[in-house]
A = this chain, B = another copy of it.
Amino acid sequence: MVDTPFAAALAEVAGLVEAALQNILDDAPLPGETARPERLIGAMRHAVLAGGKRLRPFLVVETARLFGVPDQSSIRAGAALELVHCYSLVHDDLPAMDDDDLRRGRPTVHKAFDDASAILAGDALLTLAFDVMADERVDADAAVRIQLVQALARASGLGGMAGGQMLDLAAEGRFGDGRPQLLDDAAIRRLQAMKTGALIRFGCVAGAILGRASAAERAALDAYGAIIGLAFQIADDLIDHEGDAASAGKATGKDAARGKGTLVSLNGAAWAREELARLVGEAETKLAAFGPRADRLKEAARFIAMRDV
């Protein structure tokens, strides 16, 4: 995978983000006199320092580069976004939620620790994300950082990721008579735009905020983010639909087992592959005004749509 220039660029940013996350967790605010909640720190480290592509921070860094924002700023902002992503995985994996024992081949936080530690680790990671985003080490004016904080909150909360997770649980039939809801195409799109799309989209808008982009530039990156967020989810659903667990590195066929409707189950795998190709083209169009500076973001769209893990 690291044998293409894009994969190398992605891996390079992942390394920088990894170092920032390590630094953030080593350095997390603990006043001198305070007792150290070691088990909580351990659970947070387990959740965050587990490798991964660090795709969301990559989008922050790469969109910020369009405007000449130094990586030291965007890496910190990207790390804050990654903390939110990691918290969401910890809570989603809980027995009361999706009840998953494994993630990336390792025990989930509540399996490696316990449910209470996982709940608190998620809470503390979400909180830490806002601390990091607000911190002057993001190296942007307060006016920029406050915009980032608010946009991150909106992507993560009731109208974003958390709201989407709630709709997803409802679609599985968790709260009614136990029967899955039959969502139509539009309802699935709305749900996924919230649950997985909102954070990806925020990653693309974050670069525009850091770069004090014009309204048109910001709108273009927002649209690009929405498109690749959709592509990310369709690719994910396609892997679940087609893949075998060994190559995907996680359990597959879970959506069907949960009676969960996806755009792939609704429209078929052939449609999904065509739609992904169409979305890549659309994403490229949105970036046209940035010229060749945006080539890597175009490659990111292809990578997201065509990945098989």
| Complex contacts, A165 vs chain B, CB 8 Å | 120
Query: B123 to A159, Cβ gap below 8 A?
Result: no
A136 to chain B: closest residue by CB: B146
Query: A194 to B35, Cβ gap below 8 A?
Result: yes
- Check A123/B34 contact, CB under 8 A, given A39-B166, A153-B134: no
Q: Is A96 an interface residue (CB 8 A)?
A: yes
Q: Is A174 an interface residue (CB 8 A)?
A: yes
Which of A58-66, A124-132, A262-270 is found at the contact surface with chain B? A124-132
Q: Is A116 an interface residue (CB 8 A)?
A: yes
Q: Is A114 an interface residue (CB 8 A)?
A: yes
| Complex contacts, A170 vs chain B, CB 8 Å | 37, 39
8 A Cβ contacts from A107-135 to B: 114-117, 119-120, 122-124, 126-128, 130-131, 134-135
- Check A158/B190 contact, CB under 8 A, given A128-B153, A174-B116: no
Q: Is A167 an interface residue (CB 8 A)?
A: yes
Query: A116 to B97, Cβ gap below 8 A?
Result: yes
Query: B157 to A131, Cβ gap below 8 A?
Result: yes
| Complex contacts, A28 vs chain B, CB 8 Å | 157-159
Which of A11-19, A137-145, A204-212, A236-244 is found at the contact surface with chain B? A137-145
**C-alpha spacing A131/B123, complex, angstroms:** 16
Q: Is A72 an interface residue (CB 8 A)?
A: no
| Complex contacts, A130 vs chain B, CB 8 Å | 130, 149-150, 152-153
Q: Is A29 an interface residue (CB 8 A)?
A: yes
| Copies assembled | 2
8 A Cβ contacts from A189-210 to B: 190-191, 193-194
Q: Is A187 an interface residue (CB 8 A)?
A: yes
A150 to chain B: closest residue by CB: B134
- Check A190/B159 contact, CB under 8 A, given A96-B116, A142-B142: no
Query: A166 to B37, Cβ gap below 8 A?
Result: yes
Report the minimum CB–CB distance from A70 to chain B (whole Å): 20
Report the minimum CB–CB distance from A67 to chain B (whole Å): 19
- Check A124/B162 contact, CB under 8 A, given A34-B194, A96-B119, A131-B154: yes
8 A Cβ contacts from A73-112 to B: 87, 91, 94, 96-97
- What 8 pairs between A and B have smallest CB-CB spacing? A127-B157, A96-B115, A131-B153, A37-B166, A134-B150, A40-B166, A37-B163, A142-B143
A residues adjacent to B (C-beta < 8 A): 28-31, 33-35, 37, 39-41, 44, 87, 91, 94, 96-97, 114-117, 119-120, 122-124, 126-128, 130-131, 134-135, 141-143, 145-146, 149-150, 152-154, 156-159, 162-167, 169-170, 174-175, 187, 190-191, 193-194
Q: List 14 A-B contacts (CB under 8 A).
A: A28-B157, A33-B190, A35-B163, A96-B119, A114-B175, A123-B157, A123-B162, A124-B162, A124-B163, A126-B127, A130-B130, A130-B150, A130-B152, A146-B149
